[in-house]
Amino acid sequence: MIQFDVDLAVIGSGFGGSLMAMIGQRLGLRTVLIDRASHPRFTIGESSSPVANMVLRDLIQRYSLNRIEAICQYASAEQMNPEATMGIKRGFSYFRHEAGQPFQPRDDRSNELLVPGNPDDQTADAHWLRADVDQFLFKQVRASSIATMERTDVTDVTHEDRWCVAGYHGEEPVRVWAEFVLDASGGTGVMLKSLGIPSSDDGLKTKSRTLYGHFTDVGSWYDAYREAGGRVENHPYRCDEAAVHHLIDGGWMWQLRFRNGVTSAGLVLDQDRHPYHPDRYPDEEWHLVVERYPTLAQQFKGARLHEATPHLIGTGRLQRIAERSAGAGWAGLPNVGGFVDPLHGTGIAQILAGIERLAAILEHSWGRDDLTDQLEAYSRTVRTETEFIDSLVHACYLTMDDFPRFASTSKLYFVASAMYEQRFREGRIRPEHAFLCADDEGLRDVVARIVERVTRDAQQPTEERSDPAEFDRWIEQQLEPYRQVSA
Ligand SMILES: Cc1cc2nc3c(=O)[nH]c(=O)nc-3n(C[C@H](O)[C@H](O)[C@H](O)COP(=O)(O)OP(=O)(O)OC[C@H]3O[C@@H](n4cnc5c(N)ncnc54)[C@H](O)[C@@H]3O)c2cc1C
């Protein structure tokens, strides 16, 4: 039997688990990092953002993690860490496609939205090829002499006077005795399962599922846009050097290009509009959907699935929220506590914001009486964030078929994001504060009002809804007080 006796056991060595293991060690905790897989391994959740990079930089500075600084930006990653493949991300691009018709750029740009995230290539954010980035971080964990165990499946976690994390490394039983367990196992939610904590889609409004994979030889969207007569000189950045969202009927496709020629692409489908067929293979469904949109079909005509995903991966409903994500002596990263949808790519940033909060809790309350109270508060915050993101995303799904309204509704996310960024830079985000200012009562009221209106509008035929310009003015009016804050 393999045994460890530690202060902190971290389950899951994605970027979140590796960061927590390094921070734990910096805080003087004897730490072990355990994963059932071994690096490099494929995983999804690849698009970083200005907020993600800002929080990551802060963590690097606060906990002297200088060796990982390279991954904060595309340009520095290329120069300092060429082994970790990234893709340049200048912003968020959205294009609306019509079934049966090639994409037709419009002079008034009413079927597209480009939101810059940074001013130039030097300061650009990055898409993370997670196999590489997670492996890079895992190597840093090892280089810091933290104990690691790969190919070790955690099967149960129990508590007597300390935690006992039980699992297997091959055939060999493993027991880790720990004061604190940090669950970074993502959707597996090892601690939730071990402690019998329910996690379900209860109360979440977004209802989507996805099909995704890594491809090579995907045609360039930038070229397709130009060939269709689009004027790229009017764009604030090259439109495909971004998290590209192609909106279709009842869903959307993401496209993220990496510098090694691989493109991550996935269809995210509203489950009510595209019910799940258990007898349909994801590859088959992908073709059925993509073939309806000639410009997308053309882009994927010569594309092949990359060896990382020999077949497309299909999921059931993506949304889940756990009753709790922390308690006495344990905590889960935010994506253990819940997940909504890849729209706008909130995942990485939310996890980093959660890590910042957890690190502060461990730093200030380890061994003190208030530790459990702090963890309970963290758990409530994760729920608040998940519900808030659900509202933002749900509102966007309700307007997805009506692009000008979708563009107006998306402002909710960008304003919340800018507000969080500004408060963070001003040092006004304290450990108890939520990602995207989800705990700001006023902002939550505005979001609730907008969700109520778009829900009502969605029940009416398009021609009976108010004019998109009036709708946009109304949204601007709602967001006005928060724009001033974030100006
Ligand atoms: C389809 C989809 C698209 C997404 N797109 C984006 C995006 O564009 N941008 C974004 O920011 N976020 C996105 N996300 C969210 C993102 O995937 C996650 O937030 C992110 O991957 C979580 O990273 P992590 O390190 O916490 O966990 P993970 O990367 O999930 O790592 C968990 C680790 O735990 C290990 N593990 C699991 N169970 C056990 C066990 N029993 N014993 C031992 N080890 C175990 C696994 O092997 C794995 O290595 C997306 C999510 C989905 C589902």
Verify whether ligand 1 is closer than 6 Å to residue 342 (CB atom): yes
Asked if residue 75 and residue 148 are part of one domain, the reply reads yes
Question: How many angstroms separate the alpha carbon of residue 264 from the centre of ligand 1?
Answer: 15
What is the Cα–Cα distance from 170 to 166, expressed in whole angstroms? 13
Q: Which atom of ligand 1 is nearest to the CA of 184?
A: 26
Q: How far is the CA of 217 from the centre of ligand 1 (A)?
A: 26
> Following CA atoms 473, 475, 481, 484 in sequence, which dihedral angle do they give, to the nearest 10 degrees?
-70
Q: Any idea what the CATH number is for the domain that residue 118 is in?
A: 3.30.9.100
User: What's the CA-to-centroid distance between 186 and ligand 1, angstroms?
Assistant: 5
With a 6 Å cutoff on the Cβ, whether 337 touches ligand 1 is no
CA 29 to ligand 1 center in whole angstroms = 24
Residue 366 and residue 479 in one domain? no
Question: Does the beta carbon of 36 sit less than 6 angstroms from any atom of ligand 1?
Answer: yes
User: Considering the domain boundaries, does residue 396 fall inside one?
Assistant: no
Please tell me if the CB atom of residue 335 comes closer than 6 angstroms to any atom of ligand 1.
yes
What are the pLDDT digits (tens) for 440-475?
999 999 999 999 999 999 998 878 888 999 999 999
In a domain, 393, yes or no: no
The answer to whether 411 and 466 have CB atoms below 8 angstroms apart is no
- Identify whether 390 is part of a domain: no
Q: Is residue 364 part of a domain?
A: yes
The answer, yes or no, to whether residue 484 has pLDDT greater than 70, is no
Query: Would you say residue 121 lies in a domain?
Result: yes
Q: Is residue 378 part of a domain?
A: no
Instruction: Judge whether 139 lies within some domain.
Output: yes
Which numbered atom of ligand 1 lies nearest the CA of 333? Answer: 26
Per-residue pLDDT tens for 251-306? 999 999 999 999 999 999 999 999 998 888 999 999 999 999 999 999 999 999 99
CA 348 to ligand 1 centroid distance, Å: 9
Residue bearing the CA closest to ligand 1, atom 19: 347
Determine which of 175-179, 187-191, 416-420, 457-461 has the lowest per-residue pLDDT on average.
Answer: 457-461
Confirm or reject: Cβ of 11 under 6 Å from ligand 1.
yes
Q: What is the overall mean pLDDT for the chain?
A: 95
CA of 42 to the centre of ligand 1 (A): 10
* Structure confidence at residue 303 (pLDDT): 97
Segment 6-57, tens digit of pLDDT? 999 999 999 999 999 999 999 999 999 999 999 999 999 999 999 999 999 9
Q: Which residues span the domain enclosing 429?
A: 401-486
Question: Regarding beta strands 31-34 and 2-11, do their DSSP bridges make them parallel or antiparallel, or are they unpaired?
Answer: parallel
Residue 350 Cα to ligand 1 middle (Å): 12
- Does residue 50 share a domain with residue 175? yes
- Say yes or no: 328 and 305 in one domain: no
215 and 261 together in one domain: yes
Residue 486, pLDDT > 60, answer no
Residues 227, 363: one domain?
no
